[in-house]
Every structure is written in C-alpha cells, then in structure tokens.
Amino acid sequence: MQYVRCNLCGSDNYSILFEPGVAQINQIVKCNCCNLMYANPRAKDADHVGIETWNPDWVLSNPDR
C-alpha cells in the first residue's frame, strides 16, 4: 500500500470517508485543508509511474498496443 498526500494542496491531513470495499477498492479520504476527496492509501502505483519505465522505441514501433 502506498500512502499519498493530497493531489491538490499537498497536505497529509485527511478524514476517512469510505473504508476499502465500500465505495471502491481503495479507502476514500477527504483532505481537511482543501476538501479534495481521493484514494489513500493506494493499492498500486499511479499509471504514470509504470509508463515512465516503458521503452519509447518499443511503444512507437508497436502502434497497436
């Protein structure tokens, strides 16, 4: 599990809104500073983390993927 800060303001001060399995796989929290709702902790890395490891030559040479 990966604990993250608020995507909007960067705060780590939050309140739990939904436990895991109630609204979705991840726990849903609400930032106490800016009121943004987000998943925390997250079960896996965000998509951009995996994409950063892709070989651009392979991606560009395989347009159907």
Q: How would you write the pLDDT of the chain (65 residues) with one tens digit per residue? A: 889 999 999 999 999 999 998 878 889 999 999 999 999 998 766 666 667 777 777 767 766 65
Terminal-to-terminal C-alpha distance of the chain:
28
Read off the pTM.
Answer: 0.64
What DSSP line would sit under 20-40, residue for residue?
A: TTTSSSS-EEEETTT--EEE-
pLDDT at 5: 96
pLDDT of residue 56: 75
Residue 7 has a pLDDT of 93
Residue partners of 22: CB distance under 8 A and separation at least 6: 28
The pLDDT of residue 59 is 64
Prior bond of 20 cis (ω within 30°): no
How far is C-alpha 33 from the chain's CA centre?
A: 18
